[in-house]
Chain A
Amino acid sequence: MKRILLYHIILLMLVFAACSKNKFGDYYQNPASTSTTTVEKQWTGFNYASFNYESFQYTPYFSEWQTTALNFTQVTAYENIAHRYEPIFQYASVDDKWTNYYNFLSQYKNFLSVYAGEPAATQDLYRIFKITADIHFYDQTQKMVDTYGDIPWTRAGLITTNEGNIAASYASYDKATDIYETMLDSLKAHAAELNNLSASNALTSTIATIFKNQDFINQGSILKWQKYCNSLRIKMLMRVSGTSQFSSRANTEIASILADPATYPICNGGSTAAGVFGSASDGYQDGIYLSPPSSKVAFTSSLYTGLFGWGYGDRATKVMIDTLVNNNDPRLNLLFQPGSGSPGTFIGLDESLDGATQSSLLQGTIIAGYNYYLSNSSFLPVLYITSQEIQLLIADYYTNITPNPGLAGQAYAAAITNSINWYSWLYSISDNTKPIYGSYTYSAPTSAAISNYINGSNISWVNATTIAQQNELIGLQKWINYNIFQPNECWSELRRTGYPILKFVPDDASNISQQPSNRFYYPVNEVLYNTANYNAATNNGANNIPTTKIFWQH
């Protein structure tokens, strides 16, 4: 009996010994994930989270831009069919921009939470991560505010910080002006702080190394982050410069940036001197972007398929083609290719025709399209900011805020040169494999061609004698430069300045928006799931209409 008893006890022990409490803990966590992270790892994760929207991927073009900003700015052809100027409400894929941003924001807030969890001394050491995170975060935030207006911001993305407490995490909306103010204040302080950190040995070599090992955007270059910060300030300040709340601030802060390039470096075509605008052949390189072939970052863009959309989304408008053709713009051959049915001749789709006629034209073969070498390249860079856009904004500043036609003209000319060279470079690094249709010859723009263009009668700055004419020129160049590549900026500057002057056939069939919309609807996701805050922010939905203007729009 005793022996049997013992056998049983041994057997039981063998079976039971298999499991201990620790084992249950060990097997809880997915081996493919981790339960903790570090400030620097989450910094990189956060910065990479909006990759899709910064690197010319299929999704944003297919789901949003092909039916909205690209048409609202007439950079791509659209048919004059009913409801063409409405961003489609309750259209799941248009929510993509919103989803993408709030994922990005969520990663940022989580970065803040990890950062805040460190002791004060560590926070001081890692200060550069916080500053640079803010810069990139504000850059994307500006694009959201410019698209939607008020958005949930300070209270948003806190589900991880609140450890899964749902009730505490429903986010109220911040006023668009408050967001701009917060960002401008913060960037101003960061600019000063970055200037201090740019001194040698201001960062410990360990932190400098860690930062360099994580910073896929600027490879640890403080100077580049300074340029990103100050260029972004110019972009934001110019955007709000026409509002009473911000106009004087725009004036003084831009002036102080432009006056002291040593303290406040910007993307300026390679120039480091005040009042000088760089336009050497490599001037375009003075931007914040990642070029795939040379960078450590492995990615490929997929712009063409998104642009093509449901068919013909890659086609050009008459106004764009005619503008480039009439002025011998060297970018014509870089950006476009003629239709296979009209070899050698560039024909855009006339935006004033009726929809049925446009439809058969598009189904035919004569309309020019975006050049495959550009649109079908896997090597389009991840783009944050360029010298040419900043120089055009400076021209804008010297025309409308602190008039100085001479400096404005120099900035204007430098921007054109940089823009042409930028597209020429994109063309040269393309790996496109699609055959170009139609016959057309391409040769790299010569400096003579560039200067002929700049001095052409319709383009030359000196021929623009009134502020309206100057604004028309600046607006035209912004439009050509942003083109399909920066739809956020293109649409925003057009709404803000009204230049270039484009004609849209009114959509009489729409009771929502007879001209291109001024903003996007908030997505259904907000209406359904963040109802209380949405209702409070929109007067129960009454203000959630596409004709509402963003506060900086006239």
Chain B
Amino acid sequence: MKKNKTATLNILATSPELKRLFLTMKISTFLILAACIQTYANGFAQEKIDLSVKNIELKKLFSMIEKKTDYHFLYYDAAIPQHKKVDIQMSDASIEEVLDKAFLNTLLKYKIMNNNLVVISSAGFSLVDIIVKGLVTDEKNSPLVGASIKIKGTGLGTTSNANGEFSLKIPAHSTIVISHVGYQPMEMVIDKDETINIQLQPGNKVLEDVVVTALGISKEKRALGYATSTIKSDVIGEAGTPNVVTALYGDIPGVKISAAPGGATSGVNVIIRGASSINYQQQPLLIIDGVPARNGDFNSNNGRIGNNGIAEINPEDVESVTVLKGAAAAALYGSEASNGVILITTKSGKGKKGFTTEFNTYYDEDHIAYMPQFQTVRGPGHTIDYSTLHTGNINAPNENGLDSAGWDHITYNGQAYRSLVNSIGSAGSTTPNLYFGPVYDGKPTLYWDHQVRPYLPQKNGYADLWQTAHNHTTNIAFTNNTDKTTTRFSYTYAHTEGLSITSRNDKHNFSLNNTFRLTPSLTVQTIINYFNWHIHNRPTGTGNLLLSFGGALGPADNGKWYRNEYQTSLGYKYVTGKTTNSLTPDENIWFGNLKTNTLDYVWDRLANNEDENENRINGILKVDLKLNKDLNFTVRASTDITNTLTYQKQRSSLPLALGNSGAYIVGTLNDEIYYGDARLNYTRNLTKNINLNASAGYTVNYEKTLNNSISTSGGLSVENKFDLSATINPLAASSAQGYLLKDALFGIVNVSYKNYLYAEGTLRQDRTSTMPPGNNTFYYPAVNVSYILSDAFKLPETINYLKVRASYGMVGNYPGQYISNVSYGLASVGGYPYTTVNTGPYGNVNIKPERRHEAEAGVEGQVWKNRLGFDITYYYNKITGQITNLTLPYTTGATSILQNAGSLSNAGIEVNLTATPVRTKNFTWTVILNVTHNTNKLLSLASGQSEMLLGTFDGEVAYKAKVGRPLGDYWAPTIYQTKGQNTINANGLYLLNYQQLQNVGNSQEKAVGGIRNALKYKNFGLNFSVDFKIGGSESTTALQWLTALGYTKNTLYAMDAAHGGISYYQTVNNGAVQGVQTNAGIGPQGQTVYHNGILLKGVQLDGTPNTVVVSSPYFYRTEFNSGDASLSSVGPTQGDLEYLYVATNTYFKFREIAFSYTLPTPILTKIHATNLSLSVFGRNLFYIYRTIKDADAEQFTSASGYGFQNGSPTSNLGNTNPSSRSYGVMLRANF
């Protein structure tokens, strides 16, 4: 046997790459061997004792022996003679020899039990072993797994198994202590063999919780020297959350959550302890049941609203979510943990013995909410006073064929009508899209869809372009527990819809979780999750409906008309233009205020189909092997394989005879993650008070992606023939592949003293293929200390528990896949193959990972009979060597280069308060409050650089990283100052100074948090939560455009005398059309007097007070328009007060509420149920306070991260869906 092993090793050793492997193996082998030797010594040889004491009390002798050996003594105080003193001088003696000598001349007897327990009794007591068996249950009579049963005063004992049962051999008359985390311990004296049933009452969970930490290792919360937060399934499931993360708003201090509206298929942005990167990924690492799962950033900037991997996790299968925030907590994940870690533990089925069933179903609806506040006073178009200013020609007629009041006149079917401004065929011109037209008068008007209607604002005109989403989810889970196995099988079906019309998705989720206790020392767990997800027409961003001049839908319009008119009666796309070729010329649209971009949007939603079929299999195998009482070995292997097929069928929009149209695109995405780890754990009591726990291990992770797309080109040769064979031009195809390999060695050492002082040190060495070979190995250390003051000292009685903790750690962040490559792009021009060196960004073979150093200190405690709990953390982190795309002058030959340049810091305080203001027999009220305040600061950029432009919003507002400031400042032009006052130009508008910018906001919030209330009265429960964000600005581009065009309520100001408008007439002065204020009914040369003037406060360039009155439509259109002038242009376009709409986004949102009723126990017993509850719930119901009134606070979330990531905005109202309110009902049952 031994020979064979050596041979194998030799063969492997010839491969030089395996050197490192052998180093690892050597360490592991050494540990295993060392442990075995130790075990052997314990098991097979008596411990020898050297003693030299004089005149010592017996009790002191016992404790001395306990310190030196593994023996524990069990005795009754009274039985040991107080004044008996002994002298012992022995070396290399056995325990028997020592005790025989010590007990000489006493009546004491002893017995050494097989677990090194020495039981001492006086002659009157028997020394027989008895066996106590029992069942430990919780307050609901469910079995408690892992309860500790110890012989008092010894630390020896056992734990309850999966069915809550235990069996323990003890000396008669011993006291046993039964305890379990989260429950109040119990003591019992056992005199004879017996079987007992112990029901534990809930205790204070916070004190004794076991939490999952890095690498899936469970630890007592009290032993941790860093902050973690764990949220359990009851909170996650209570209000029918669309995904796991959206259930956690305001629940976890230090964590900011924002979700892109759009329903279950939308991404979530999670930011832990502030911004950690200038350019790159900010999303936390996702770990499910100890193994990494696909997550990543999401981005909705290409039309459809995307999602990240975490949104796919089934909330019904989640047992708990733990967030590792600080570097010390996450250090075992090294370079993957710079943005924190989310650990999800799925339900495994452990608990009650036998077969149980869990059933849960809910239905809810999402209704569109929080829309812009449209004005309903006037419709589309513009009056003559706008036109004269716009053209600069006071004698020109009103533009767009309108009469001076803003009406278009149409002859249709031989009859004359008035109609709204004709916006058809006016591409490139924005003026027809104004909403400064005639006031609603209810008189007949010809609309673009050939109907005559009274001219009135339409109710729900905008909302009717959307649908109400009907969602339902049903979950059934079976669990079976036997002595040998625990099995949970769960099936969830979820049907959800989005607000975008035709959007729906169906998700089937199977989960099978098995634990096999094959032998007392060998446990095997297998978890298999299978997701089948069909997304039909993923929601599309609102871009066309809010952000485009040809699409913004106002109250004069109605979404229903668009749903009717998007296609002709023959099913082709609508046709505009009176004489355009069409098989249905009567249906051609050629007058009125049609928003073609909106009609295109509706065509795209209703005529074109995109179906994503995702299959994801996630399997985990975990083997736990107890080698002996000190040594454990765990090995885990997992896969996460996603395969997505996407079919896009774009309907033929034209008859084939008139042109080619339509498309068929088929895409596949394969994403595979393979993971393995192995860990050897060694535990030993070094002395009676000092416990050592050490681990060493290795993890490896391999990821592979392949993304293919093939599409028809130039249209379909047969109408609506959705097959590649129908392509008109040669097929277009693309394929991208990606590979990623990471591995790491790690070690952990835990030392505890007397169960009140704990210290832990960890070290990880990792490698990644995203770094240049030879420069890809880095080390990440961490230490943490926890000190339970309330156990170490006697504190005033009001303090039930008090712990202080401190930690320091380092984590990192590697550059993304391939971005550090210095490489040539490959291409061919007309058959001539060529290369070009990639220069934007240029790679860097000397790049290093970003390092996040973090120190934190915290205090947690319970006071006033555990009625008030607190947990306060202060942290400071510094992220150095930021991986940035450093901008270079183009003259160096590259536009940017990948560099470790700059550092930033976050300092913050996290506060968590848990209070039970009321606790009576029938009524309890608990409230949890979380607040986090974080201060981010950019400490430096590349040497000599003081700011970096990350992007611009609309080409006007600069988004910058500035040294000394928090990341993400908004900078906008100032108003040119003359003699200390705002300068007004010849047109009566502000003169902007593009050379001098000012800071108009920052995207990072001052504080986030939440309040969660749980009220329970008899069988009724009421839970509700409020979450908030204070500070943090957004660029509200879309809203600003709506203002520029006159859609929003704020543009009513100065529309006429009643709304504060100034009366004026127009005249030409130095070639410019100017307004002159007047009180007369007519101008001096007979000019018309208008009443919609605005006189801006300020001075003309020459310093004289401004007297030029400007027409208010022209004011809004010019000052709020995003023009073509760029950030700091001095060009001919006089500017825009863009920064008026960089707005602070503070909110207090009533996030969710659930009202439930649980059937009383007697009825439950009758129907053989253990639980049956019915609840109604609502989400996103209303705001208590918000600063942005025209949109939902989260509607800006269009991608992961703050402000700009990798050059594209993460905050863009046009790339999301409108927000919604949700209401639902839920039934939960357990049998």
Contacts and interface: CB of A to CB of B under 8 A. Distances in A.
B5 interface: yes
Interface in A42-80: 42-46, 48-49, 51
Nearest to B767: A24
Given A30-B823, A36-B824, A16 B700 contact: yes
A35 B822 contact: yes
9 contacts: A9-B25, A13-B25, A24-B741, A99-B890, A164-B844, A164-B846, A166-B886, A298-B830, A528-B887
Interface stretch (B51-59, B458-466, B525-533, B893-901): B893-901
B1132 A83 contact: yes
A5 B771 contact: no
B152 to A, nearest CB: 34
B405 interface: no
A21 B20 CA distance: 9
Given A48-B834, A90-B1126, A8 B767 contact: no
Interface in B773-826: 773, 776, 817-818, 821-826
A6 interface: yes
A-B pairs with lowest CB-CB distance, top 10 = A20-B17, A106-B893, A44-B834, A530-B889, A157-B893, A297-B830, A27-B769, A30-B818, A33-B823, A45-B834
A528 B1127 CA distance: 15
Contacts of A339: none
Given A12-B25, A310-B1124, A88 B824 contact: no
Contacts of A169: 888, 892-893
Contact of B739 (A27, A38, A295): A27
Interface stretch (B390-398, B444-452, B718-726): B390-398
Nearest to A4: B627
A160 interface: yes
Given A30-B823, A37-B837, A160-B822, 9 more contacts: A17-B18, A21-B17, A28-B773, A32-B826, A44-B833, A48-B836, A90-B1126, A213-B832, A310-B1124
Interface in B696-728: 698, 700, 702
A295 B830 contact: yes
B10 interface: no
A542 interface: no
Nearest to B949: A528
Nearest to B826: A34
A158 interface: yes
A359 B28 CA distance: 83
Contacts of B897: 159, 164, 166
Contacts of B36: 1, 5
Nearest to B32: A5
Given A35-B822, A213-B832, A363 B391 contact: yes
A533 B888 CA distance: 13
Given A8-B633, A159-B897, A24 B769 contact: yes
A525 interface: yes
A31 B737 CA distance: 7
Most chain B beta carbons < 10 A, residue from A4, A214, A295, A530: A4
Nearest to B1134: A82
A171 B892 contact: yes
Nearest to B945: A529
Q: What is the interface residue range for chain B against chain A?
A: 35 or more
Contacts of A38: 835
A18 B702 contact: yes
Interface string B396-432: 1000000000000000000000000000000011000
Nearest to A95: B890
A213 B836 CA distance: 17
B99 interface: no
Nearest to B838: A33
B21 A159 contact: no
B740 interface: yes
A299 B893 contact: no
A99 B834 contact: no
B741 A27 contact: yes
B129 to A, nearest CB: 28
B770 A28 contact: yes
A520 interface: no
Given A106-B837, A297-B829, A91 B1129 contact: yes
A46 B893 contact: no
Given A19-B700, A92-B1126, A27 B635 contact: no
Contacts of A124: none
Interface residues of A, number: 99
Given A8-B633, A21-B773, A158-B893, A311 B429 contact: yes
B45 interface: no
B1128 interface: yes
Contact of B894 (A5, A159, A525): A159
A22 interface: yes
A249 interface: no
B892 A156 contact: yes
Contacts of A23: 741, 769
B122 interface: no
Interface in A453-493: none
B18 A20 contact: yes
Contacts of B827: 45
Contacts of B1126: 90-93
B819 to A, nearest CB: 9
A42 B891 contact: no
Contacts of A43: 834
Contacts of A533: 891
B830 A171 contact: no
Contacts of B393: 356-357, 359-360
A310 B1133 CA distance: 13
Contacts of A29: 818, 821, 823
B773 A24 contact: yes
A12 B5 contact: no
A222 B21 CA distance: 59
Interface string B1109-1124: 0000000000000001
Interface string A293-325: 001111100000000001100000000000000
A34 to B, nearest CB: 5
Contacts of A35: 821-824
B188 to A, nearest CB: 37
Contacts of A158: 892-893
B678 A11 contact: yes
A90 B17 CA distance: 54
A15 B846 contact: no
A298 to B, nearest CB: 4
A296 B700 contact: no
B888 A360 contact: no
A355 interface: yes
Contacts of A525: 887, 889-890
A46 B773 contact: no
B627 A37 contact: no
B842 interface: yes
A28 B832 contact: no
Given A33-B825, A156-B892, A103 B839 contact: yes
A383 B836 CA distance: 22
A158 to B, nearest CB: 6
Contacts of A504: none
Interface in B75-100: none
B15 to A, nearest CB: 8
B131 interface: no
Nearest to B1129: A91
Contact of B893 (A109, A214, A295, A297): A109
A526 interface: yes
A4 B891 CA distance: 65
A89 interface: yes
A550 interface: no
Interface in A237-293: none
A105 B893 contact: yes
Contacts of B824: 33-37, 42, 45
A160 B391 contact: no
Contact of B829 (A12, A19, A298): A298
Interface in B1064-1089: 1071
